[in-house]
Amino acid sequence: MSALFTAATLRGLQVPNRIVVSPMCQYSAERGEAQAWHMIHLGHLALSGAGMLCIEATAVEPDGRITPGDLGLWDDATEAALRPVLAAIRQHSNIAVTMQLAHAGRKASSHTPWEGGQLISVADGGWMTHAPSAISHKPDETPPLALDTAGLLRVKEAFVASARRAARLGIDALEIHAAHGYLLHQFLSPIANQRTDEYGGSRENRMRYPLEIFDAVRAAFPGDKPVGVRVSATDWVEGGWGIEDTIAFASELKKRGVDWIDVSSGGVSPQQKIPLEPGYQVPFAKAVKEATGVTTIAVGLITDAKHAEEIVASGQADFVAMARAMLYDPRWPWHAAAELGATVSAPPQYWRSQPREQKHLFGDISFGQR
């Protein structure tokens, strides 16, 4: 039996296999509201055969968007715009739907990647960004505003409000984004956090605000539904956040009932030096899992079915998540199941697509024809 295609349980959520569609920013919303693109994009990924689909980084307040086109969930309009998208998914797929809640911090107010990705100044229609400290991401950028007591409370309440809206929408699980150089990662990393209050200085202090956000979201989301956290295991910069810090953070999250740690890396500094290769971040997931026993998701250039199988079968991680590979091959789970001798869920409209040599790919089904 394929380990990759065994079922898993996360609190009250049953997941049919260990394949996760990673959250992928589409920069295609208007005023934070989902558009037809989100219906198409999420709809076809919901038919991929993966066990779980994570909606892209969803801003908890307008100032928390990476770009003006980021998806949001901060008011009735953004909530209403997602409702038909989710209804369509539920009608045609049994995939578990997760949402990644996020705040970009000092990396907000940026152009889309295809427009260069640089900071948009206030004069050019951008907005002032907020961060733990008034330190810009790049030397030539306008420094962000350091969050004061009122600002910290505002952002925390925004996470809580978004979690409650996600619950009303019927989202199955939440993932809190504390990676890739965005706000919560900025608090964790000494590169971005140079505060002198209870939220800065020691590792314990730097972890304090992200842990408060987790506690608040966990309390606001239904108790039978899981909440995970995405982390950057290392900044890839000397003197920055590292794997031992990540293990300490994961250990604190475990005490608070975290359901998974999604282990990525980098993003907090343009000085990072990342040695890219297939599965380059898997050792970080393995280290977190071995040190804490927390359920982990491995990410990073995992594109081969046998590689994904080996990661799960060997216990390096409990799930594998894919982004670009899933865009390039939206039926990757089908093809992986065929290669590994497993079955996968597919809508009946597609049952006749399975090759003759893989006639049991979709399980023991029959398809009559007059």
In sequence order, the β-bridge partners of residue 296 are: 261
CA–CA separation, 293 and 173 (whole Å): 20
* Residue 173 near residue 98 (C-beta atoms within 8 A): yes
Q: For residue 35, give both structure tokens.
A: 């558009």
Q: What is the DSSP string of 57-85?
A: EEESSGGG-SSTT--B-SSHHHHHHHHHH
Q: What is d(CA 43, CA 85) in angstroms, rounded to the nearest whole number?
A: 8
Identity of the amino acid at 277: E
The active-site residue, picked from 27, 182, 199, 209, is 182
How far, in Å, CA of 154 to CA of 158, rounded?
A: 6
182 belongs to the catalytic site: yes
Phi, psi (degrees; rounded to nearest 5) at 84: -65, -30
Dihedral in degrees, nearest 10, Cα atoms 299, 324, 303, 347? 100
Catalytic amino acids?
182
